[in-house]
Amino acid sequence: MSIDNIISEAVSKAVNELYGLEIGADKIAPQTTRPEFEGNLTIVVFPFVKAARKAPEAVSNEIGEWLVKNEPAVARFNVVKGFLNIVIEPTFWNGVLAEIAATPDYGTTAATDDSPLVMVEYSSPNTNKPLHLGHVRNNLLGYSLAEILKACGNKVVKTNIVNDRGIHICKSMLAWKKWGNGATPESTGKKGDHLIGDFYVLFDKHYKEEVAQLMAEGQSEEEAKQNAPLMLEAREMLRLWEQKDPEVRRLWAMMNSWVYAGFDETYRRLGVDFDKIYYESDTYLEGKEKVLEGLEKGIMYRKDDGSVWADLTDAGLDHKLLLRSDGTSVYMTQDIGTARLRYQDFPIDKMIYVVGNEQNYHFQVLSILLDRLGFKWGKDLVHFSYGMVELPEGKMKSREGTVVDADDLIDEMVNAAKTVAQEQGKAKDASPEEADEIAEIVGLGALKYFLLKVDPRKNMTFNPKESIDFNGNTGPFIQYTHARIRSILRNAADVERVDYSSVEPNEKEADLIQRLADFPEVIKEAGKNYSPALIANYVYDLVKNYNQFYHDYSVLKETDAAVRSLRLTISEQVARVVKTGMGLLGIKVPERM
């Protein structure tokens, strides 16, 4: 049992005995004592004051005295107004450490047959361009969230919805037909997603030229954009695609296959994966059927022009278009269709969409519509709404080719990790192959950690130079500390371990054990709040405190065998928790650096 649970149960008994209050231990949440006060855990006593009919200080003192007398884990206490600060008996921490060391998969909870099934959708790329920095944040958040929810005891299905149809796809296809000269990934030596992205940019370049020409001839900007020959051709190609024209469909399938191969390579390097991939070309008709079903049931209505709408005014929103007058679908309809297919495939209990905060309204509407259409998880669907990521130079634009490509970014991070390692003399004993492997792990660790340590709801600026620093709140700092601890443990392989239960841990040792004991609760909090940042910053604080401890105290050179055994066990468990925590972020930690 964790120290938090022990204290919660003891306080529950105390208030029952002292004041006749029936409060379950699960309703009493000890907090870590603030550093400026003496203590390990703090209890807020204000909820008990009314029943006790005494001042907060008096209640705190009475509960504190009861705990010292009746709970062996409590050494002493102090009171600051209505806050009871509890000092844990130092040797008690040894038992906590031993329990942590003896617990397989410490911190995580395994799913059971009765566990809820949570589906997490992330990535959601378009097949007209390669993945970029924004996609990287999306993928890393989605994958990490799925791993955290698994660690909280849920069954999890990771899904991706690929936007493989629409006018934007036709733009790349048309540009390839006009100016591609039969180019393929093999003939150009380019990844397929990059090749298609080049044609998307090329379309935009020629399209802008046509718009400028038409405007020079007297058309308004809006007229010119609608009447530009390239746009008219792209619209005709989309019409042919929807009519399943064999030639257009063949070109579409060929170019998409190039993109998927490129995406797969990027996903592999990022270390993310999916259990099931859906394609909008398969789901948009499903959505149309479901909307027409809703129309029959009176959930939607049809206007005179034939378009189908949902009236959401009773939910404080407006009227939402679901089918255009020509019968074609909008994005909302496609999402309804995807939901229908997913619900047929999996008995989902909760659905989480990892999508940027510019889509907040979209998911507010989708939740209401899915609920009205009978999806049991519709009302409670979660839009994991995250902020945008920019570079120090500012925003990025796909059409203009100014987006930071995910593959280029990964290469840049790996090369930077290699350069910094060489400058600082790290991995100097490694073979060239090992050095390359470590650079890949450290470069990606730097990228992932920097993007995940920030509250996902906030907009952020990604600074590659800051992220690769081996000092401060960075991935490489944590990875290097893990490698250092593993080195200590390798050197201690032949050191005899003895019983340390009677050793009184010093303040830094007790603090590290308490932080280790917090790990399961941190995982639960991260799952509850959908926040990988809680894991990231917990691991950083643990590592920072370990480094301070290691600076002040020797581990291998400690002459007292029991104290040395205690410190080796602390080191072992810190490394283990760091590896588990970073794993929940999708980050590897090397054994040596």
Instruction: Give yes or no for residue 198 having a pLDDT over 60.
Output: yes
- Least confident stretch, 189-203, 253-267, 380-394: 380-394
What is the assigned CATH class of domain 3-89?
Answer: alpha beta
Strand 276-279 to strand 155-162: parallel, antiparallel, or no bridges (unpaired)? parallel
- Tell me which CATH homologous superfamily contains domain 278-404: HUPs (3.40.50.620)
The label of the residue with tokens 């990521």 reads 389
Comparing 257 with 431, the larger pLDDT belongs to 257
pLDDT 10s digits, 469-510: 888 899 999 999 999 999 999 999 999 999 999 999 999 999
pLDDT 10s digits, 461-472: 888 888 888 888
pLDDT of residue 400: 46
Torsion 271-274-279-280 (CA) sign: negative
CA dihedral (412, 415, 418, 424) in degrees, to 10, reads: -60
Q: Supply the angle between the helices 432-452 and 406-423 in degrees, to the nearest 10.
A: 120
pLDDT of residue 399: 43
Distance CA 79, CA 58 (A): 9
pLDDT of residue 87: 95
Protein fold of 407-584 = Isoleucyl-tRNA Synthetase; Domain 1 (1.10.730)
pLDDT of residue 214: 96
- Stretch 345-357: mean pLDDT: 95
The conformation of residue 34, written as its DSSP 8-state character, comes to: P
Q: Which two tokens stand for residue 274?
A: 């999916």
- Stretch 88-98: mean pLDDT: 94
| DSSP sequence for 107-139 | T-B---TTSPEEEEE----BTTS--BHHHHHHH
pLDDT tier, 304 (very low <50, low <70, confident <90, very high otherwise): very high
Q: Are 140 and 150 in contact (CB under 8 A)?
A: no
pLDDT of residue 393: 67
Distance CA 85, CA 246 (A): 74
Distance CA 438, CA 27 (A): 46
Q: How far apart are the first and last CA of the chain?
A: 36
Q: Are 79 and 57 in contact (CB under 8 A)?
A: yes
pLDDT 10s digits, 1-16: 678 889 999 999 999 9
User: With pLDDT > 90 as the criterion, what percentage of the chain qualifies?
Assistant: 84
What's the CA angle centered on 542, arms 536 and 545, to 5 degrees?
A: 140
- Phi and psi at residue 44, in whole multiples of 5°? -90, 120
CA dihedral (130, 133, 138, 142) in degrees, to 10, reads: 90
Nearest residue to 258 (alpha-carbon basis) of 197, 324, 347: 197
pLDDT of residue 237: 95
pLDDT of residue 397: 45
Mark residue 94 as left, alpha or beta (left: phi above 0; alpha: psi -120 to 50; beta: remaining): alpha
Q: Which two tokens stand for residue 55?
A: 């001042």
Distance CA 370, CA 380 (A): 10
Strand 301-302 to strand 308-311: parallel, antiparallel, or no bridges (unpaired)? antiparallel
- Stretch 26-51: mean pLDDT: 93
Instruction: Give yes or no for residue 402 having a pLDDT over 70.
Output: no
- The ranges assigned to domains in the chain are 3-89, 159-274, 278-404, 407-584
Instruction: Give yes or no for residue 420 having a pLDDT over 90.
Output: no
pLDDT of residue 285: 84
Task: Supply the mean pLDDT for the chain.
Answer: 93
pLDDT 10s digits, 425-446: 776 777 888 889 999 999 999 9
| DSSP sequence for 159-194 | EEEEB--SHHHHHHHHHHHHH-TT--HHHHT--HHH
pLDDT of residue 396: 41
pLDDT of residue 253: 97
